[in-house]
Homo-oligomer: A and B are copies of this chain.
């Protein structure tokens, strides 16, 4: 009985969420604004990647950021300090973002006159993958110290994303992380996923990642 009730509620919520997500995606597509949903474990470098990427994209790509945190606004403060337009969503304990929260974030941010909006999801490799946020692109960050076995343990997250940024490549040796083995594991789950090894600390790999992202911004406007 209990399981049955739960599933009914969940399915209803997911259907409503999917409708709202589709509306966000279509509205932003018409406006030529690419919404990128960035998902990762805690401490993998989501905010660092956003800061590095906005800097590398430069002024010709007008970028805004929606930060989601459970209970703080540290990341939004950091992004604002870098002179980037930002809105903070506090989920009040919720472990993921859904489309209605994103709608609130977009309203707070102001979605006009932007080419690209980053949505920094809650630090979690499980729940965020289950909810459509309305983003055009899901991107995952895996940080090297987390290990190259993560595709085996969190397959839904790897299947849900178009691109993977492997951050903290300056730890590759210390962490005994096998990038080739990771690629083989991803190949089995999601052969279309692009992989971008990056170190936000040293800047290594940021250019290739940013070039790909610029291509995605352009493609949406065509």
Nearest CB of chain B from residue A55's CB, rounded to whole Å: 20
Task: Assess whether B95 is in contact with A42, with CB atoms less than 8 Å apart.
Answer: no
Nearest CB of chain B from residue A77's CB, rounded to whole Å: 11
Choose from B13, B126, B150, B171 the contact partner of A6 (Cβ within 8 Å): B13
Separation of A156 and B9 alpha carbons in the complex (Å): 26
Q: Is A105 an interface residue (CB 8 A)?
A: no
Given contacts A43-B145, A124-B125, A126-B122, contact A154 B9 (CB under 8 A): no
Task: Assess whether B2 is in contact with A13, with CB atoms less than 8 Å apart.
Answer: yes
How many residues of A are counted as interface, with CB atoms below 8 angstroms from the partner's CB atoms? 40
Separation of A156 and B125 alpha carbons in the complex (Å): 18
A1-33, CB under 8 A of B: which get 1 and which 0? 010011001001100100000000000000000
Nearest CB of chain B from residue A173's CB, rounded to whole Å: 11
Task: Assess whether A42 is in contact with B41, with CB atoms less than 8 Å apart.
Answer: yes
Choose from B13, B71, B145, B155 the contact partner of A143 (Cβ within 8 Å): B145
Q: Among residues 69 to 113 in chain A, which have CB atoms less than 8 Å away from a CB atom of chain B?
A: 69-72, 74, 93, 95
A114-155, CB under 8 A of B: which get 1 and which 0? 000000001111110010000000000001011101101111
Task: Assess whether B150 is in contact with A43, with CB atoms less than 8 Å apart.
Answer: yes
Q: A43-B150, A95-B127, A143-B145 are in contact. List 15 more A-B contacts (CB 8 A).
A: A5-B9, A6-B13, A41-B43, A42-B150, A42-B153, A70-B155, A71-B155, A71-B156, A72-B153, A74-B152, A93-B126, A93-B156, A95-B95, A123-B125, A126-B127
24 A–B contact pairs at CB < 8 A?
A: A2-B13, A2-B16, A5-B9, A6-B9, A6-B13, A41-B43, A41-B146, A42-B125, A42-B150, A42-B154, A43-B143, A43-B146, A43-B147, A70-B154, A70-B156, A71-B155, A72-B153, A122-B126, A123-B125, A123-B153, A124-B125, A124-B126, A170-B174, A174-B174
